[in-house]
Amino acid sequence: MSNLRFKMVEAAIGRKALNVPVPELRPSEYFGCKVFNTEKMRKYLPKQVFDALQNTIENHTSLSRDVADAVAVGMKQWAMENGATHYTHWFQPLTGGTAEKHDAFIEHDGHGGVVEEFSGKLLMQQEGDASSFPNGGTRSTFEARGYSAWDPTSPAFIVDGTLCIPTIFISYTGEALDYKTPLLKSIEAVDKAATSICRMFDENVKKVYTYLGWEQEYFLVDEALWAARPDLMLTGRTLMGHESAKNQQLEDHYFGSIPTRVAAYMRDLEYSCLELGIPAKTRHNEVAPGQFEIAPIFEEANLANDHNLLLMSVMKRLARKHSFRIALHEKPFGGINGSGKHNNWSLGTSTGVNLYSPGKTEKDNLQFLTFLVNTLVAVHRHNGLLKAAISSATNAHRLGANEAPPAIISVFLGRQLSEVLDHLIDDGQDDSIKMDTKQRFLTGIAHIPELFIDNTDRNRTSPFAFTGNRFEFRAVGSTANCGGALTVINAAVAEQLLVFKGELDELIAGGKSFEIAIIELLKKYIRLSLPIHFDGNGYSDEWKAEAAKRGLDCESSVPLIYDRMLAEGSLKLFKSTGILSEAELHARVEVNWEIYTKKIQIEARVFGDLAMNHILPVASRYQAQLLDKVDKVVKLYQSTDVVQEIAGRDMMLIEKISRHINAIRAGVDEMVDARKVANKIECEREKAIAYHDNVAPKIEEVRIHIDKLELIVDNEIWPLPKYRELLFMK
């Protein structure tokens, strides 16, 4: 068979699982062996240098050049002992992935030879060309130069013989050109705001940490089949393909036994994760066939996010080793579940208290409610902006599809917690908060720990769900840099905590007791945040109508959702918390629109090529075969009845194929025309809107005809691997 698809299917069938040897050491013995962590720092750095560096890491003090030089020496020694020959600054440009440029550890020795060298200067800062990365116009206003600067709070690590140093990436004039810079600033903002409140409960609190536990979903496809799908290769998703007869209807994949080849891949991946200090813990099949998940134990958010980005690149590399390709795209296949990256987010104090965990004492619970309610207010106030933070051309296919949260942000609290909040605001007049109210309230609160023992309430349809001791932001896309979403959550919560603290101070200054003042404010804010609280079915159409009535942001066009980043409230939010300037925000929105346009543009091109050069010729060929047969039948049998009996159905198919072919031709022409018009638009926003409104829908429209043809045309000549092959051959 000359058909490429069949050759590839054969190759995939012949594939065996790789043998992944079990490491001789236990995980606790090799965990972090490729990371310059505290243990290595202690070993490779002089005592004063180690202390100075720890001080910088913990208290964000600046690092002197001398100390940096000494750190560089120790780091280089460790790296070279572990096989590293190169180093790189490792940063997170707005493209979404990570970037690196490797340099060898060599310098001229002045005598015609070289020496291995690495200085504090090279460790701390490097110059790069910012104009080669998305910068949203900051380049035309400012210099093209960019700098990467060391983030000592995330330890360096070795991948493939290269020492990778996590860095931020900023323009010559200091504008952030990455995801890490604003994330770090937001972590600091929420630390400051939260600590000042926590200290009213416990003055021993020195710091509040942001925690992130992500859950990464992904699909694996055999590399041969992937290679025969230009759409997967170039866009990360299938732009066409009829649903497989068996999909996820039987619900037999979720938590099912893991196919051997995949299990080998997962084991390999986990070893790599542990070596790199990523605490990989959970693995399982996901809902869709061919879909899986990996989740680590949660960590401090900046580190956790670095680990997620590192994981995604390790996943890609190892997939190749196992003759797979990994689809991290949010919706690689139509009609079945897409992939998300749930962000489990919480705040915790330096004294070890999780601020979203109901406590044992009344005071603990008051603190818990303070943080919970202020988070509700923050999410309510900035629900549009939060949506902007997770919106992309790729995630748009997943949000609002039947298995994922809709493009509306709401918060799920669960029955028990909802009752506690209802109870709090349900006791009549605001101005009569007396002891008995307080008593009742506190009694109610004291019950929370018990109530939470049975916290089995797991609403899966909510984009922002409280899950007992943390919030789970589920709308984040599987390809995303979590930093985008986290920055907004942190910023919004920091802003609200500052407001709350100001009001609390005022009430206390006015003579109210601490408890009474807090309760009064909680009541006010619970009421204010009511519209965001929704425990029902987020997938239902009623919710869409209800959400609109409540004034929640219901916009579903991604380019328009990005407008929320420039809303007055958003500008104020980022300015007041010092996380992003107006210029930086403008640059980011521009980048978003630009990337949106480019993604759809590429899809449209690939789609046009596949439709015209892969599908139509094959459909025509099959149609010609049928015509041939009909022609012969007509020649052989004069009677129309007999002709009808033998070739009637073929004639119908011939017409059907014609109708689809014509629709595809016309649709592709319209798509090309729409693209031409859109390409002439100068304004990035308008261009993205044109791509959203006029180009993207054409792909879906024409696809239907191609998928219908797939059911008609002879299986033997269909050129693209079908869904059943892509999804079930592992």
- Min dist. Cβ of residue 307 to ligand ADP (A): 11
Determine, following the binding rule CB under 6 A, whether residue 346 of this chain makes contact with ligand ADP: yes
Binding mask 265-284 for ligand ADP (x = CB under 6 A): -----------------x--
Determine, following the binding rule CB under 6 A, whether residue 297 of this chain makes contact with ligand ADP: yes
Q: Considering CB distances under 5 to 8 angstroms, the limit depending on partner class, which of ligand ADP, Mg ion, none binds residue 119?
A: none
Determine, following the binding rule CB under 6 A, whether residue 470 of this chain makes contact with ligand ADP: yes
- Min dist. Cβ of residue 284 to Mg ion (A): 7
63/488 with CB nearer ligand ADP: 488
Paired tokens of 240: 């066409």
| DSSP track, 466-529 | E-SSSEEE---BTTS-HHHHHHHHHHHHHHHHHHHHHHHHHHHHTT--HHHHHHHHHHHHHHHH
Candidate residues 38, 469, 556, 694; the one interacting with ligand ADP per rule CB under 6 A: 469
296/721 with CB nearer ligand ADP: 296
Determine, following the binding rule CB under 6 A, whether residue 339 of this chain makes contact with ligand ADP: no
Q: Are 420 and 448 in contact (CB under 8 A)?
A: yes
Determine, following the binding rule CB under 6 A, whether residue 298 of this chain makes contact with ligand ADP: yes
| DSSP track, 506-521 | HHHHTT--HHHHHHHH
Q: Considering CB distances under 5 to 8 angstroms, the limit depending on partner class, which of ligand ADP, Mg ion, none binds residue 346?
A: ligand ADP
393/448 with CB nearer ligand ADP: 448
Burial class (CB within 10 angstroms; exposed 0-12, middle 13-18, buried 19+) of 715: exposed
40/470 with CB nearer ligand ADP: 470
Give the integer Cα–Cα distance in Å for 128 and 101.
9
Residue with tokens 């549009």: 384
213/332 with CB nearer ligand ADP: 213
Chain positions 78 to 107 lying near ligand ADP, rule: CB under 6 A, are none
The torsion angles phi and psi of 291, rounded to 5 degrees, stand at -110, 140
Contacting residues toward Mg ion, per CB under 5 A: 215
Determine, following the binding rule CB under 6 A, whether residue 354 of this chain makes contact with ligand ADP: yes
215/553 with CB nearer ligand ADP: 215
Residues 6 or more apart whose Cβ sits within 8 Å of residue 235 = 329, 599, 602, 603, 606
Give the integer Cα–Cα distance in Å for 5 and 113.
54
Q: Considering CB distances under 5 to 8 angstroms, the limit depending on partner class, which of Mg ion, ligand ADP, none binds residue 297?
A: ligand ADP
HEC readout, 659-722: HHHHHHHHHHHHHHHHHHHHHCCCCHHHHHHHHHHHHHHHHHHHHHHHHHHHHHCCHHHCCCCC
470/501 with CB nearer Mg ion: 470
Give the integer Cα–Cα distance in Å for 549 and 497.
27
Determine, following the binding rule CB under 6 A, whether residue 548 of this chain makes contact with ligand ADP: no
- Min dist. Cβ of residue 475 to ligand ADP (A): 14
Determine, following the binding rule CB under 6 A, whether residue 295 of this chain makes contact with ligand ADP: yes
Q: For 202-325, where are the alpha helices, taking DSSP H only?
A: 223-227, 230-235, 260-275, 301-321
Q: Considering CB distances under 5 to 8 angstroms, the limit depending on partner class, which of ligand ADP, Mg ion, none binds residue 354?
A: ligand ADP
- Min dist. Cβ of residue 486 to ligand ADP (A): 11
215/590 with CB nearer Mg ion: 215
Paired tokens of 491: 């910023």
- Residue whose C-beta lies closest to ligand ADP: 213
Burial class (CB within 10 angstroms; exposed 0-12, middle 13-18, buried 19+) of 469: middle
162/467 with CB nearer ligand ADP: 467
Give the integer Cα–Cα distance in Å for 727 and 725.
6
- Residue span binding ligand ADP (CB under 6 A) among the ranges 55-63, 97-105, 255-263, 293-301: 293-301
Residue with tokens 């039987």: 250
Residues in contact with ligand ADP by CB under 6 A are: 211, 213, 215, 282, 295-298, 344-346, 354, 469-470
